[in-house]
Structure formats: C-alpha cells, structure tokens
Structure 1
Amino acid sequence: MEFFEVVKKRRSIRKYQKKKIPEEYVEKILEAAFYSPSSRNRRPWHFVVVDEEGLIKKLAQTRPALEFLETAPLAIVVCGDEEISSAWVFDASIAAEHIQLAATALGLGTCWGHVLERMHNKEKSAEDYVRELLGIPEHIRVLCIIGIGYPAEEKPSHSEKEVMWGRVHRNRFGNSWKMK
C-alpha cells in the first residue's frame, strides 16, 4: 500500500475477526516501531506483545474505554523507560503510531487504548493495573495498549474534507497558509 493511502485508510477499528495474526506480520509491525525516531536516539521503548486470549480479556478490563480489546487477537502494550529518557512519552507515542500505520499497511485494523494518567478504578491507576497484570517494572511506564486484528467493521478512508487548512499558519499565527 502506498504511504498516503495507508495514512488515509488508518482508522480506529474496535471490532475484530477471530483470526490469528501471522507471526511475520507481528515482527514487521514491531520492526516499524523500532524505526521510529526518538529524542537523542535514546530509544526508550519497550513493547509487550500479548496474544494470549485470557490475558487480552484482562487488559480489556483496564478501563471502560479499552473494552474493544475483548475481540482483538493481538494487543501491543507500548511502554517507555523513564530512566533512559525524560521524553519517553513522545518517543513511545511516535512508535505507537508507527505500529498502527504498519498494521494498516498489512491490511489489519488497530485502535489506541490510552492508559497513562487514567484510572482503572477509584483506588488504582490503569497503569498500575497493567503493570501488575504483565509484571512490568516500576520504572517502565505504560503509555497505551494497541488492539490489532483483521477488521470486523468497515470505516471509510479519511477524505480531503477533513484537512483543516484554517489551522495552518504561515510564518505567524493568524496568517493563513492558503492565500486567497
């Protein structure tokens, strides 16, 4: 798939077919994540690949917004080591988007499930819940969980109508990019 087609096609897919993702696809997706840029090339990422159905169902209980994981045959927990880089959130976010674009290019659907600074329940953060569930060390922070699978729902590609030229400024805020 051509790059701009991939970008337009990438949508949040929350329903997946019960079909296993080939291991070579998972490796290609992870490879794309490792090609993402990072602050000072520190590469603070860690990825927990979860393909065990029971464990994915527990991840779906992290918070209500992650219930879509219930049907995902694959989840990738995107983390960052705050001891390696204070910019881990940004670096891990870029890697997470590379994961989503690579999966789209392979014909898969994805959805980002936010974990950082969210709550599992009144007493426990979503991050602590995931950390305990997967045995993630304290200094490794949990950014998000990306559900991945063959789509069981269709969404249209993005269109040029969504391009917000009014939010693009030339040289100074308020100077329109598109001259009339």
Structure 2
Amino acid sequence: MSELHARRDVIKLLRDLRAVRDFGPDPVPEAFLDDAYEVARWTGSARNLQPWDLVVVRNRETLDQLATLNGYAKHLAGAPLGIVLVLDNENAEFAAYDEGRLAERIMLAAAAHGLGSCIGWWSGQGRIDARAIIGAPDTTIARTVLSIGYPAVPGGLKPKRGQAETRKPVAAFVHQERYA
C-alpha cells in the first residue's frame, strides 16, 4: 500500500468515527483489548504521567448499574463491554485533556477492529457511585466510560427519522489569523 493510500485510510477512519449506542450480543475479542491496552500505554500525556487506570467491565449487572448513574452512560446497558477511565483525583482537572485523548484513541482502536463505541460520563453523585461500583479508591475519580461492542445495525448507526446527516461547512468554523 502506498503512503498516500495509507494516509487516506487513516483520514477516513478519523472522519468516519461515529458514536454507536446500540450493540449486538457478540463478545468483544481479546485481540481488541490487547491492542487497546497498547494504545493506552503509548497515548501521550502531560509530563508523561499516564494518569489513568482502566477498569474493564463485562459483567451484565455491573454494566446495567453503571448505565443508571447520574450523567450520560445509558448506552452501557446494551454494550457487551465497558471501559471506565479512572484518574487520580488530585490531578483530575489537569488530566482531563489526557483523559479525552485516551478515550478517543481507544475508540479509534475499536473502529479499527470493526467495533463500535460511545463515550459516556458521570457527574456529581454518579461519579462517586461509579467509583464505588468498580471498587476504585476514594482518591480517584471515575467520570468517563466507553461502551464497546459490535454495532447492532450494519454501519453502526440507526437512521434518524426524517433527519439527514449534515455537517457544518468548513468555512463556518475555521477562521484565519483572527476570529471573524
């Protein structure tokens, strides 16, 4: 494969990544998890602190519990697998950038394996409850979770009734030199 084709494939993967909230029943393969762990290990972070731990959840009851907490994670209820990103609470505000970077990279690794994913989060009491459910120490924060699995619908997205997928034109959000 030429360098140009490889570059286009990467751009296509980045451009086409969409949140998948409806999953089929098939389990997530270990090969994906092995790759996800390597991706996590090599994801850049401020001062290379790598301020995260990952809690991989397959238990149906646990996923269902996590799906009900305050925030946005209902999609966990139908997912065969969830990955909770856990951070040290002391640096959680500063690590939020690293956390987002890690989440997106795991989602891209999932897409490379033909899996769908959706990012979710908890707020307020939901974060405290999530931490308790997964057994994370009180010195940590659990605010971000990924649901992962094979899409229930080929292509991963359910069409929205009467709504075509549209994106803003580039000129609507790109400004040169100054905000205009």
Residue equivalent to 1:62: 69
What is the number of equivalent residue pairs in this alignment? 165
- What SS is found at the alignment partner of 2:33? helix
Offset of 1:76 from its aligned partner?
Answer: 0.3
- Asked if structure 2 preserves the Cα contact closer than 8 Å seen for 1:34 and 1:95, the reply is no
Closer, same or farther: CA 85–55 of 1 in aligned 2, 3 Å: closer
Counterparts of 1:143 and 1:160, CA distance in 2: 30
Counterpart among 153, 164, 168 of residue 170 in structure 2: 164
Calculate the TM-score normalised by the size of structure 1.
Answer: 0.82
Calculate the TM-score normalised by the size of structure 2.
Answer: 0.82
Greater percentage in helix:
2
Offset of 1:166 from its aligned partner?
Answer: 2.5
- Asked if structure 2 preserves the Cα contact closer than 8 Å seen for 1:44 and 1:82, the reply is no
- Asked if structure 2 preserves the Cα contact closer than 8 Å seen for 1:50 and 1:76, the reply is yes
Q: What RMSD in Å do the two structures reach over aligned CA positions?
A: 2.2
- How many percent of aligned residue pairs carry the same amino acid? 29
Counterparts of 1:160 and 1:36, CA distance in 2: 31
- Structure 1 stretches of at least 4 aligned residues deviating more than 6 Å after TM superposition: none
Task: Spell out the pairing of 1:1-180 with structure 2 (5 A cutoff).
Answer: 2-63=9-70, 65-83=72-90, 87-115=94-122, 118-119=123-124, 125-153=125-153, 154-155=156-157, 161-174=167-180
Offset of 1:173 from its aligned partner?
Answer: 2.0
Q: Deviations over 1:104-142 (max 9, x none)?
A: 111100011111xx24xxxxx110010111111122111
Runs of at least 5 residues in structure 1 that lack an aligned partner in the other structure: 120-124, 175-180
Q: Deviations over 1:24-70 (max 9, x none)?
A: 21121222122221111111011111111221111111237322211
Offset of 1:144 from its aligned partner?
Answer: 0.9
